[in-house]
Amino acid sequence: MSLRVLVVEDEFIIGLDIARQLESAGFEVLGPATSVETALRFVAESGCDVAVLNVHLGGETSEAIAQELRACSKPFVVVSGDSTDSLSSSFNGAIVLSKPLPITDILAAVRRCVDM
């Protein structure tokens, strides 16, 4: 069984690219979810083994998703253009990657989450 990775990214083309790369690496991908509501539905209905979260999703943040993933003991990777100092404590302890970044960094971070 392949590991399920939830991709949360409000820029659909970027989310689709991340999803395709993860699928090519052998992961089962959920999403991309472009909103908090959609992402939380994926977590509740489908579950996931690990998630890749963009911090800013249009006019909202992925904080609620991070909190729900923590409640389910699921690891996640944070992708943001913000400095790590400005991130909410909901993202503490997660692997944080700064935008822009190569897809290989996301793949390596997802693999590290799975190996934890």
**What would the pLDDT profile of 1-16 be if each residue is shown by its tens digit?**
589 999 999 999 999 9
* Integer angstrom CA distances of residue 87 from 41, 81, 82, 84: 24, 10, 7, 5
d(CA 90, CA 27): 25
Mean pLDDT of the chain: 91
Q: What is the pLDDT of residue 87?
A: 86
Contact 27, 3 (CB under 8 A): yes
Note the pLDDT of residue 116: 63
Q: How far apart are the first and last CA of the chain?
A: 18
pLDDT-derived band at 93, boundaries 50, 70, 90: confident
Residue 74 has pLDDT above 80, yes or no: yes
Domains within the chain, CATH numbers bracketed: 4-115 (3.40.50.2300)
Overall average pLDDT of the 56-68 stretch: 94
Measured CA to CA, the distance from residue 18 to residue 32 in angstroms comes to: 8
